[in-house]
Amino acid sequence: MASFLSKENTIANANFNRWLVPPAALAVHLSIGMAYGFSVFWKPLGNALTGVDGKPLVACAAGATNLPEKLAGTAKALFATDCNWTQFDLGWMFTLFFVLLGCSAALWGGWLEREGPRKAGFVSMLLWCGGLLISAYGVYAHQLWLMWLGSGVIGGIGLGLGYISPVSTLIKWFPDRRGMATGMAIMGFGGGAMIGSPLATKLMGYFATSASAGVWQTFVALAAIYFVFMLWGSLSYRVPPTGWKPANWTPPATQNNAMISSKHVHLNNAHKTPQFWLLWLVLCMNVSAGIGIIGAAAPMLQETFGGALIGHADIGFADIKKDEALTKTVAAVGAGFVGLISLFNIFGRFAWATSSDKLGRKRTYYIFFILGAIMYCAATYAAGLKSLALFVGCFCVIASMYGGGFATIPAYLADMFGTQFVGAIHGRLLTAWSTAGILGPVVVNYMHDTRLEAKVPFDQIYAPIFLVLAGMLVVGFIANLLVKPVAEKFYMTDAELEAERQLAHEKSTTANNSNSSGNGTVQSVSNPILVMIAWALVLIPISYGIWSTIQKAWGLFA
C-alpha cells in the first residue's frame, strides 16, 4: 500500500489525459466541503435529549446571559449526558474546522510536496471519514467532546490536507490555464455544502425515529459516501513528469510579464519575502470582508427589510418577531437569500479564477477590492432606500468575489513563487483564512450586538458595518498595490532545484515517457469515454445541489 501511494507511482505516462485530474480533485473537495454545511445538524442536536413528556431537556448552559457563563456551560456540556447542547456549544466545531484547516495545511504542506497528492488525499479521506464516525459515536453517546475531537480536530486536519492536495498538481497540469484549473477544484469545496446539506436533511428524515433524530446514522452514511468519493478521487491523482507541457503550447515570454516567474522559490524562503506577507494580507482582508456578512446573511436581510420581504413594507422586524407565523415566513425568504449567495460564491470561484488567466492575478484582485468597496457602499444606500433588488444584487457580487479570492490565490502564488513548492506555500498562506475566520465574524457580530444594545432600529444596524468592511477592502487594495516581482536572491539555482526534484522523487519527461516529444510535450490520448464518466460522477451531484439551492432561493423572488 505504501508503495502504491508513493509519489513515484503517481507520475503519469504518455497516454494520460490531464482532464481526468480536475474531477478527481472535485471528488475530494465536494466531500470535505460539507464542513460549510454542518449547521444543518445544530437544531436536531440541540433537541436530542427529551424528557418523559417528550419535550427537549434544558440546555447545559440554560440561563447563561454573558460570555463567561456561556463558556462555563460549554465546559459542562463537553461531558454531560443529562442536558442538551446549544448552538454556541456546537458552533465551536465550525471554528475548529477552519482553524485546523489552515494550521494543518501550513504544517504538512511540505510533506505533501515530497510525498505527492495521492498519499495526501488518501490520508485526508481517512481523517475526514474517520472523524465523522467518531462524531457519530459522540452523538450516540451524547458526548460533545467526541464530536469536537472527531469532526473538529481530526476532521479539521483532514480538511487541510484534502484542500491543498490537488492545488500544486492542477497548476502543473494546466500551466496554460492555472486560474481555471484551481478554480474548478476550489469551486468544489464551496459547493460541498450545497450537495451535503440537502442530502443530510433527507438522510435525517429517513433515519429519524421517535427516540432519535437520525443524526448519528446520518454521520455514518455520509462517512461511507465520502469514503467512496474521496478514495476514488485521491487514487485518481496523477502528477506530470518534470518538464511536461501541453501539446502545441508555448510558455509566454516572461520578460513581457514580470509578475509571472519562470523560476522557483524554496518553501523555506517564501515566508522571508515581502510578497508572501502582502499576499497573506490580500487574502485575509478579502475573506474577512466577506465571511462575517455571509455568516449573518439571513438575519441581516430580515432585520434590514422586515415586512418588505413579504409585501408589508409598513411592518418592521421588531413587529415580525412578535408573530410566529410571520417569523417563519420571513425566515424562509432569508434562507432563499442564503442559497442565492451560496450559488454566487461557488460559481464566482470558477468564473473569477478563469478570468484571471486573461486579466492577470493582480488586476483581478484590484477588481475584487475596488468593486467590493463600491458594492458595500451601494448596499448601504440600498438599505436606506429599501431597494431589495439592489441590496441582493450587491451581495451576490460580493459573494462571487469572496469565492473568487480563494480560487485565484493559488495561481497568484504560482506566478510569484514558481510551481515547485506552490502547494506547500499555499498551505502556509491559508493561515490568513484561519485568521479571517475569526476576525470577520467578530467584527460583524460585535458591531451588530453593540448597536442592538444601543436601541438602534433594526433597519439601520448594518450601514456602518458595511463601511468598516469596505475599509478592510481598501487595506487589501493597498497590499495588492505593493506586490512586486520576487527579488532574484530568493530563487533557487538550477542545482538546488534539481536536488529538490530528486528529493521529491520526480522524473523528467524523457525518462518517464518514451512517447513524449523532444520538447517535453505529451499528447493526451486516453479514452475520452473514461473522461466523460469521471466528469459525470461529479457533475451529477453538483447538478443535484444546484437544483436544491435554486428551489430554496426561489422563495426570495416568489
Per-residue confidence (pLDDT) for residue 516, from 0 to 100: 46
Q: In this model, does residue 270 exceed pLDDT 80?
A: yes
Q: In this model, does residue 510 exceed pLDDT 70?
A: no
Poorest-pLDDT segment among 69-73, 153-157, 254-258, 430-434: 254-258
Per-residue confidence (pLDDT) for residue 170, from 0 to 100: 92
Q: Which residues have CB under 8 Å from 490's CB, separation 6+? A: 265, 269, 270, 272, 273
**To which CATH superfamily is domain 256-492 assigned?**
MFS general substrate transporter like domains (1.20.1250.20)
DSSP 8-state code for residue 212: B
The phi-psi region of residue 520 (left if phi > 0; otherwise alpha if psi is between -120 and 50; otherwise beta) is left
Q: In this model, does residue 514 exceed pLDDT 60?
A: no
Round to whole Å and give the CA distance between 180 and 439: 29
C-alpha distances (whole Å) from 441 to each of 57, 435, 437, 448, 465 are 30, 11, 7, 10, 11
Residue 25's nearest CA partner among 234, 231, 207 is 234
Round to whole Å and give the CA distance between 228 and 232: 6
Grade residue 145 by pLDDT with cuts at 50, 70 and 90.
Answer: very high
Angle (CA) 53 58 64, round 5°: 160
Higher pLDDT, 194 or 536: 536
**Which residues share a beta bridge with 491?**
265
Same fold, 19-41+80-246+523-550 and 256-492: yes
Grade residue 193 by pLDDT with cuts at 50, 70 and 90.
Answer: confident
Averaged pLDDT, 258-263: 82
Domain ranges of the chain: 19-41+80-246+523-550, 256-492
> pLDDT tens digits for 21-54?
999 999 999 999 998 888 888 888 888 887 777 7
* DSSP per-residue string spanning 354-413: HHHHHH-HHHHHHHHHHHHHHHHHHHHHHHHHT-HHHHHHHHHHHHHHHHHHHHHHHHHH
Per-residue confidence (pLDDT) for residue 537, from 0 to 100: 94
Other CB atoms within 10 A of residue 446 CB: 12
> pLDDT tens digits for 463-477?
999 999 999 999 999
Round to whole Å and give the CA distance between 263 and 87: 49
Q: Which residues have CB under 8 Å from 241's CB, separation 6+? A: 11, 12, 506, 507, 508, 509, 511, 512, 513, 516, 522
Instruction: Say which CATH class 19-41+80-246+523-550 falls into.
Output: mainly alpha
Averaged pLDDT, 87-100: 84
Q: Which residues have CB under 8 Å from 65's CB, separation 6+? A: none
- Name the range with the highest mean pLDDT among 63-77, 125-139, 281-295, 296-310: 125-139
DSSP 8-state code for residue 520: S
Grade residue 253 by pLDDT with cuts at 50, 70 and 90.
Answer: low
Averaged pLDDT, 428-451: 88
Q: How big is the chain, counted in residues? A: 558
Mean of the per-residue pLDDT values of the chain? 87
Cα 194 from chain centroid (whole Å)? 12
Poorest-pLDDT segment among 12-16, 45-49, 63-67, 263-267: 63-67
Poorest-pLDDT segment among 29-33, 109-113, 507-511: 507-511
The helix (run of H) or strand (run of E) holding residue 267 is: helix 267-270
Cα 524 from chain centroid (whole Å)? 30
Contact call for residues 295 and 288 (beta carbons, < 8 A) = no
Other CB atoms within 10 A of residue 396 CB: 17
Backbone angles phi, psi at 50, to 5 degrees: -125, 155
Grade residue 519 by pLDDT with cuts at 50, 70 and 90.
Answer: very low
Grade residue 406 by pLDDT with cuts at 50, 70 and 90.
Answer: very high
Grade residue 141 by pLDDT with cuts at 50, 70 and 90.
Answer: very high
Contact call for residues 301 and 395 (beta carbons, < 8 A) = no
Q: Give percent of the chain above pLDDT 70.
A: 94
Grade residue 508 by pLDDT with cuts at 50, 70 and 90.
Answer: low
Q: In this model, does residue 220 exceed pLDDT 90?
A: yes
Higher pLDDT, 472 or 330: 472
Averaged pLDDT, 271-289: 96
Per-residue confidence (pLDDT) for residue 144, from 0 to 100: 92
Per-residue confidence (pLDDT) for residue 509, from 0 to 100: 58
Q: In this model, does residue 521 exceed pLDDT 60?
A: no
Contact call for residues 308 and 556 (beta carbons, < 8 A) = no
* Whole-number CA gyration radius for the chain: 24
> pLDDT tens digits for 368-377?
999 999 999 9
Per-residue confidence (pLDDT) for residue 89, from 0 to 100: 85
Round to whole Å and give the CA distance between 87 and 454: 25
Other CB atoms within 10 A of residue 112 CB: 27
